[in-house]
Chains A and B, each alone.
Chain A
Amino acid sequence: MTKILVVDDAAFMRMRTVKLLQENGYEVAEAADGQEAVEKYIQEKPDAVLMDITMPNMDGITAVKQIRKADPNAKIVMCSALGQQSMVLEAVKAGAKDFVVKPFQPDRILAAIKRLTG
């Protein structure tokens, strides 16, 4: 089963995303900040990651860099309310493969995951 790591500091967002992924047949792991995401990535070895940007302890961009250092093939999709061009560029430079802008768009999230793991 394809495993996705969902990273968001908002419990509500994690709940909603996890529900969407499970309903579509994915196995899911969760992390509430960037630091936890790096640890969970190494531990769980997910097929792809959905990563928020603004989070306490370690932000999503830093977490992408660290995960990519541990696994240069890591597939990470940013999922953030911060859709400014500068932010998208920064995420891509860090190694993110795609960028989904909130508000929550279930189809967009599923399409991005499918493209990376299919």
Chain B
Amino acid sequence: MKAQFANPFVSAAYEVLQAEVNATVERGPLSLEESQFTNKDITVMIGITGPVRGVVMYSMTEEVAKRLVSVMLGQPVNEFDSLSESAISEIGNVITGVAARELERAGYSCRISPPTLVMGQHTVISTVNLKRLVVPLKTQYGEIEISIALEEARAGARDIGLTVAKGV
């Protein structure tokens, strides 16, 4: 898991959260996780294919999701309904799209899948052979955690990039 692949997602999240919900974002400590991923309440999952492949997940509690959607819709959201699902998926989709642009500039032209929404606490998701770089983002709406599990398709081998990743 190279930091080179993770950086575009973190900077895209800053840019999109600022544009969509006027968020001030502060990055928390990074970690490289090998264990399975446990859902907070709501996770947007987006697959990446091409020279860099894997999955990126954006996870948050329902409270945080409702606060974000309230700002996006310009009205208070009390129930996380289908319109909220659509809005929160869109955030994940746009962050990933912006990151894909950066990856292309770095020479990795990838495709992204439509978002999948995983809901419910304690849902366990395994990225199987891929380690995840976990980046907590603190905003005024609460924490959004990005998990990035990507590998270079050609190489196959997994690069352990935690020391490198500190420079994210």
Seen from chain A, the residues whose Cβ lies within 8 Å of a Cβ on chain B are 9-13, 15-16, 54-56, 80-86, 101-104
Given the known A-B contacts A56-B114, A103-B15, A103-B20, are A12 and B83 also in contact in the complex, defined by CB atoms under 8 Å?
A: yes
Q: Is B33's beta carbon under 8 Å from chain A?
A: no
Shortest C-beta distance, A60 to chain B (Å), equals 12
Closest CB in chain A relative to B57 CB, distance in Å: 17
B46 to chain A, nearest CB (A): 10
In the complex, what distance in Å separates the CA atom of A81 from the CA atom of B73? 19
A10 vs B89: C-alpha distance when bound (angstroms): 8
Give B84's nearest chain A residue, CB to CB: A12
CA distance A51 to B78 in the complex (A): 31
* Contact call B83/A15, Cβ cutoff below 8 A: yes
Using a CB–CB distance below 8 Å, which chain B residues touch chain A? 15-16, 19-20, 72-73, 82-83, 86-87, 89-90, 93-94, 96-98, 100-101, 104, 109, 112-114
**Measured between alpha carbons, how far is A103 from B14 in the docked complex, in Å?**
12
Contact A86 B114 (CB under 8 A): no
**Residues of A with C-beta under 8 A to B96:** 81
B94 near A84 (CB under 8 angstroms)?
no
Contacts of A84 in B (CB 8 A): 100-101, 104, 109
Taking chain B's interface residues, is the majority helix, strand, or loop, or is none over half, making it mixed? Answer: helix
Q: Name the contact of B94 in the complex, choosing from A11, A55, A102 (C-beta under 8 A).
A: A102
Question: Whole-angstrom distance between the alpha carbons of A55 and B90 in the complex?
Answer: 12
**Distance of A31 from chain B, by nearest CB (Å):** 15
Least distance between A82 CB and chain B CB atoms (Å) = 5
Chain A contacts for B113, CB-based, 8 A: 54
Chain A residues with CB under 8 Å of B114's CB are 9, 54-56
* A80 nearest in chain B by CB position: B97
Residues of B within 8 A of A13 (CB): 86, 90
If A12-B87, A15-B83 touch, does A81 touch B93 (CB 8 Å cutoff)? Answer: yes
